[in-house]
Amino acid sequence: MKAAIIGGGPSGLFLAILLKQRQPAAEVTVYEQNRADATFGFGVVMADKGLDRLRDASPEVFDALTGAMRFSDRQVIVSNETPITVQRPGSGGAIPRIELLRILGVHARRLGVDVRYEQRIEDFLALDADVVVGADGINSRLRDNDEVAFDVQRHSLTNHFAWYGVEKAFPHPSLVFRKHGAGYFVAHYYPYSASMSTFVAECDHRSWQDLAMEQMSADERQHLFEQVFAPELDGQALVSNHSNWRQFPVIRARNWHVGNRVLIGDALSSAHFSIGSGTRIAMEDAIALADALNASPDNIPQALDDYRRRRQPQKQKLIGASEASFNWYERIRDWMDQYGPHEFVFRFMTRTGRVDVGRLREQYPALVRDFEAAGLIPAECEGQP
């Protein structure tokens, strides 16, 4: 089998590894348009469930990645200047994105994957491959090159956001919801090394308009958020790395594959950053596609059909949670005005519909006791009100 993978990000490299592990004779080539040492963004989060699936698929890769991760078993949520600590049932990990890519690249090349950097493919149909995989992210050129055939639907959310870093390792992942002047702001931040954290800055569209942020320079927007979140930054400046302000694009390809071309990760369905599972979803797509291709290497159409049929139900659950989450964030001004600290956290925890009161009781007992004390749920309640 000959496989051409477009995109040398986590899902593309992991797919290449899984194919070569089971099919050593397969010719697997990864085409990445950027340099080997180029990376955009800062740290990547992987939750415990995603790590479990990664371990099952490739124990060696799992060991290498977790050895480089920084783990945390709690999150702090701040609203109305009141911090509430959420003790998690498991430990999620964060890793520098560039280290994640380095580790995956080492494993891929060791297995004989041909990883080609600074290679921008213009004609996907001309590639000498039995299967061509679009692992090239939210701005997928493979998908957009044949948008009609993939039946792509898209729209943009209204909130505005940008990814920054900060030279400070916060003690725990945190979310801070803050009113400041005429603006409603959110900071999502988490440590990913001994000295660095990712810091996602967000505001609603009305704040963007009221504060004339469209007319601000990039430096002025960065300085504004440094002022808003000065208590958390503690004198540290935000670090920019292609930290462009934008509105999140919701992209859905209804057709998972066209001919021998197939999509995974954000190229197929963009996952909103508020659920912290974009890398997990993409790498689980890679696992599902590798399983299908490894089971039917001589029947690519059958393999691609099996991939969609087997992966789609679970993928849709995760994407559905992403949609419920971003719809909640789109109304963040309402929730910040309406709810006190404990009710805000309760509504936040149950926003996707995947967590009800029963699951809260099972996985977050200390938090439930706080909710009961605040009168949000009765002590005898078994289901979500």
Domain ranges across the chain: 2-72+91-155+247-326, 339-374
120 has a pLDDT exceeding 60: yes
pLDDT tens per residue, range 165-183: 999 999 999 999 999 999 9
pLDDT tens per residue, range 252-294: 999 999 999 999 999 999 999 998 778 999 999 999 999 999 9
pLDDT tens per residue, range 36-59: 887 777 999 887 777 889 999 999
Q: Is the dihedral of CA 368, 318, 64, 119 positive or negative?
A: negative
pLDDT tens per residue, range 98-113: 999 999 999 999 999 9
Residue 160 near residue 186, CB atoms below 8 Å: no
Residue 117 near residue 245, CB atoms below 8 Å: no
Helix (H, G, I), strand (E, B) or coil at 146: coil
CA distance 231 to 226: 9
List the alpha helices (DSSP H) in the chain: 10-22, 48-57, 59-66, 97-110, 141-144, 147-150, 205-210, 218-228, 230-233, 278-295, 300-329, 332-338, 341-349, 357-363, 365-373
pLDDT, position 333: 98
DSSP characters for 262-316?
EE-GGGTBPPPGGGS-HHHHHHHHHHHHHHHHHH-TT-HHHHHHHHHHHHHHHHH
DSSP characters for 371-382?
HHHTTSS-TT--
CA distance 324 to 346: 15
CA distance 298 to 301: 9
CATH of domain 2-72+91-155+247-326: 3.50.50.60
pLDDT, position 299: 98
What separation in angstroms does the CA of 171 have from each of 92, 201, 364? 14, 18, 20
pLDDT, position 380: 56
pLDDT, position 139: 96
CA distance 145 to 149: 9
Bridge partner list, 83? 78
Residue 253 near residue 268, CB atoms below 8 Å: yes
pLDDT tens per residue, range 154-165: 999 999 999 999
